[in-house]
Structure 1
Amino acid sequence: MASFRTSSGDPLTHGNSRVKEARKLARRSFRASAGLFLADGPKAVEGALAVEGCVVEIFATPTAAEQYADLLGAAPVTLVDDRALASLSDSVSPAGLVAVCRLLDRPLAEVLSGGPRLVVICADVRDPGNAGTVIRCADAAGADAVILAGDAVDLHNPKTIRASVGSVFHLPVALERDPVAAVRAAQAAGLGVLAADMDGRNLFEADDLLAKPTAWLMGNEAWGLPDDLRAAADEVVSIPIYGGAESLNLATAAAVCLYASARAQR
């Protein structure tokens, strides 16, 4: 059974100091200084609980604590009222659970150690929904790691965490300020870096490339890959467009490329 704790026996309110401190984790600067972030909803909380030492505390409404009692197990749970929980969640319809977790990002050298076969490098990806969805796609395709490079969205942004639907807890994610350095590190780890961009080799005619250890290089949602980063890749590969659409969005393109690699490698 989960262990419930409050200062008075009653659920904590919106104005409680512990709730106020946790609410500050909505800000990137505070997440960085505290080394903590918020994971909102049962899927995220379940994923966080599966990572040893990740969860510091779970805030739950009494209704959610009862509903998800089997999920919470022996986790430290603090009961809060509905208004307090809503102030910790950025969801339109909060599910009643929010966990305070330790930051997840790992060193670049660590995620590239051990002979990875499939990695995705996101360069200057700014949209948290896209970043979280790419992490989810990478997890589903059996990738070994994700690298958020350059001026990227915060991995621990609540929207990124929610869009990953728990996948952010399943595979390692590294942060690297220099996208070219991320490419070079992947190449040094034995990965062929394939830039997903226009005017490249047809993805569906590139099984010889895809069957090898690969790092997919994906660019910014609006402007794609800059010339220097495209040139740093080993090869440019394009998803053919058969209809009238100008292009695919980032998360969709990442899913197509990752699954093409997963198929070829299996």
Structure 2
Amino acid sequence: MLDNPRSPRVRSVAKLAKKAARAETGAFLLEGPQAAREALTWRPELVVDLYATTHAFQKHDDVAALAKQADVRTEFVTEQVLDAMADTVTPQGFVAVCRTFPTSLDDIFGSSPRLIAVLEEVRDPGNAGTIIRAADSAGADAVVFSGHTVDLYNPKVVRSTTGSLFHLPVAVGATIEDVLARSRSASLHVIAADMAGDDLLVARTSGELALPTAWVFGNEAHGLSDAAVALVDRVITVPIYGHAESMNLATAASVCLYESAFAQRS
């Protein structure tokens, strides 16, 4: 059992909370039983190391069974060691080290997608992760992080996906111009979500949401760049009927993605 919170091994795991360490090692941090469960179920080959307290291992025996099935050895650690490894205050008994698994635009657009989410300059990790989760829930085919969008493997992004990171392909690093050009080549209708757009109900009534669609979501504070807006087919806003000053980006993205999901399945 690992019981020294200051050991080199513990420190090397803890460093994965930093982008530089993730880039250097090609690994990222996963925390909690739910995230471990999803990784071991959907992408067990990515799990390099699994650490757990004995209490958590006994309590979540399904995670233990999945680890055994995937031939992933579990290293038992003390609560103090787990706290030192984790990025959160309460890691819930499990920490895993996983390999990063980038997806290319060729893979995404070569599979004839009908619904994708494109993030441009989205900086908040909670928003980025929640949009991945919403895209997964809505049955989207992929998510693309463009420009200076937050690092996909940021611990808070990973946590916010609640395991959806392992369910659908996510590409990173492309320019918004390249992503939208590829979207058009794949016959996707490109719609931007922005405060200055037409009412979402107009798009619903016109039937265009039933088309294969790439939804584009911009920065939380500044919205989409002028360059991105100039490249899209349509700009849509989610109407606010109450007195709220604005809508959270991830909430608006969830509405947009589900509107397309409903239209495409009706």
**1:165 maps to amino acid:** T
How far apart are the structure 1 equivalents of 2:173 and 2:232?
A: 16
Query: Which residue in 2 is equivalent to 1:85?
Result: 82
1:71 to 63, 81, 84: 63
Displacement of 1:95: 0.4
- Contact 1:121 / 1:149 at 8 angstroms: preserved in 2? yes
How far apart are the structure 2 equivalents of 1:66 and 1:120?
A: 38
How far apart are the structure 1 equivalents of 2:192 and 2:134?
A: 17
2:13 to 22, 27, 49: 22
How far apart are the structure 1 equivalents of 2:225 and 2:243?
A: 25
Secondary structure of the 1:206 match is: helix
Query: Which residue in 2 is equivalent to 1:224?
Result: 223
Secondary structure of the 2:162 match is: coil
How far apart are the structure 1 equivalents of 2:192 and 2:120?
A: 11
Deviations 1:215-255 (A, max 9, x none): 10000000001111101011111212222323211101101
**1:37 maps to amino acid:** F
How far apart are the structure 2 equivalents of 1:22 and 1:157?
A: 14
How far apart are the structure 2 equivalents of 1:12 and 1:117?
A: 50
Query: Which residue in 2 is equivalent to 1:13?
Result: 4
Question: Which of the pair is proportionally richer in helix?
Answer: 2
Query: Which residue in 1 is equivalent to 2:137?
Result: 140
Q: Percent identical across equivalent pairs? A: 46
1:1-266 equivalences in 2 (<5 Å): 10-49=1-40, 50-73=42-65, 74=68, 75-207=72-204, 208-266=207-265
- Contact 2:50 / 2:94 at 8 angstroms: preserved in 1? yes
How far apart are the structure 1 equivalents of 2:64 and 2:264?
A: 37
Displacement of 1:13: 2.2
How far apart are the structure 1 equivalents of 2:147 and 2:225?
A: 12
- Contact 2:57 / 2:63 at 8 angstroms: preserved in 1? no
- Contact 1:139 / 1:170 at 8 angstroms: preserved in 2? yes
Displacement of 1:89: 1.4
Secondary structure of the 2:45 match is: coil
- Contact 1:201 / 1:237 at 8 angstroms: preserved in 2? yes
Displacement of 1:159: 0.5
- Contact 2:50 / 2:75 at 8 angstroms: preserved in 1? yes
How far apart are the structure 1 equivalents of 2:195 and 2:78?
A: 51
Displacement of 1:90: 1.9
Q: Which runs of 5+ in 2 are unaligned?
A: none
- Contact 2:14 / 2:87 at 8 angstroms: preserved in 1? no
TM-score by length of 2: 0.93
Q: Which moved more, 1:215-224 or 1:167-176?
A: 167-176
How many equivalent residue pairs? 257
Displacement of 1:152: 0.9
How far apart are the structure 1 equivalents of 2:14 and 2:240?
A: 44
**2:237 maps to amino acid:** S
How far apart are the structure 1 equivalents of 2:64 and 2:145?
A: 30
